[in-house]
Amino acid sequence: MTFQDRVFSGMQPTGTLHLGNYLGAMVQWIEMQKSHECIYCVVDLHAITVWQDPAELKTSIRQVTAAYIASGLDPKRSIVFNQSQVPEHAELAWIFNCVARLGWLNRMTQFKEKAGKDREAASVGLYAYPNLMAADILAYRATHVPVGDDQKQHLELARDIAQKFNSDFRSSIEQKGYADGVFFPQPEPVITGPATRVMSLRDGTKKMSKSEPSDMSRINLMDDTDTIADKIKRAKTDMEPAPPATLDDLRARPEIDNLVGIYAALAGVTKEDGLSLLASTAGEGPSIFTGFKRALTEVAVEKLGPIRSEIVRLMADPAEIDRVLADGARRARAIATPVMDEVKDIVGFIRG
């Protein structure tokens, strides 16, 4: 069958969002809402795969919602809600736990990174996280998933799960009237934001992340002007005597590559333009990067300052944020419940 284009994506309320979340995913979300039916979720069930303080979790859910809206998501046009208000996510995830194979999950690099050395102590939820992510997408039979580069492997798993479900239950799916035996689409990753992998400001080989202990490694959407300036000033560079002259040179210098990539994404220019700026500002201060960092700070403050102010304004009225989430959850369920009813029929459950 052909599927109606539908976009799904989400972010975890595990702290405030950072520049990586914004450039890697959010910018694309905002673009896609202009042309597609979009469902954007605050994935609180995912957040508790690692310990979350209950009071802080509530605040984070509201703050991530506020960040979505402040960045440009329109909750009237797109569906915006928190995952736990739509029980179909957890229900479908259980069925996918029974479709996905252990061998598939064993290959997931994010689990290995997040569980670290003490895998025995990791939650079962952290291990099964990709199955829940597949359920998030497929509960809406979504066709497009805008994400950062780090989510590519999880998306491939979601595609494998969709395919195996379709194949395991083929005759049951056909009996329901799907002549080609296809119930779930193969969701397409959309990894095309202006910077699909933003790296840590302290280590150009590690991705910028909410859970990295050093706050100096990331620029948060809630950082004020002075904090942004300080973080960029202290961002790691290198000891080479001259700035990189070509894109090939740049690729060999991960910290500089990251800063140029962030500048280009925020300023809406190419990396070549970033390189030219680097060259033209190299004589402006004690370090060859002083002038470039000043320009980067200016564009970061110009882009992120208004988002921060809007988050603060929205957070002053938590009841309104809760209303947005409840309305989004109602609209999300209107799509997910009929899908889940069909899944139950296909699997062989009896419904009242």
Reading the block at residue 263, the tokens are 């500048």
Choice among 114, 236, 303, 344 that is catalytic: 114
Nearer to ligand AQP, 12 or 237 (CB): 12
Alpha carbon of 227 to those of 44, 109, 301, 305: distances in Å? 28, 32, 10, 11
Min CB(127)–ligand AQP separation in Å: 15
Angle between helices 318-347 and 54-71 (to 10 degrees): 100
Min CB(83)–ligand AQP separation in Å: 11
Under 8 Å between Cβ of 228 and 215:
no
* Cα(265)–Cα(287) distance, integer angstroms: 23
Verify whether residue 207 is a known catalytic residue.
Answer: yes
What residue is closest to ligand AQP based on CB? Answer: 24
* Cα(301)–Cα(70) distance, integer angstroms: 15
Reading the block at residue 269, the tokens are 């220019």
Residue 115 phi/psi, 5-degree rounding, is -75, -25
Min CB(328)–ligand AQP separation in Å: 17
Verify whether residue 34 is a known catalytic residue.
Answer: no
**DSSP-derived pairing of the beta strands 38-42 and 7-11:** parallel
Q: Rg of the chain's alpha carbons, rounded to an integer?
A: 22
Q: What is the largest CA-CA distance in the chain?
A: 75
Which residues here bind ligand AQP, judged by CB under 6 A? 11-12, 14, 20-21, 24-25, 147-148, 150-151, 196-198, 207-211
Verify whether residue 114 is a known catalytic residue.
Answer: yes
Min CB(65)–ligand AQP separation in Å: 13
Residues carrying an active site annotation: 114, 207, 210
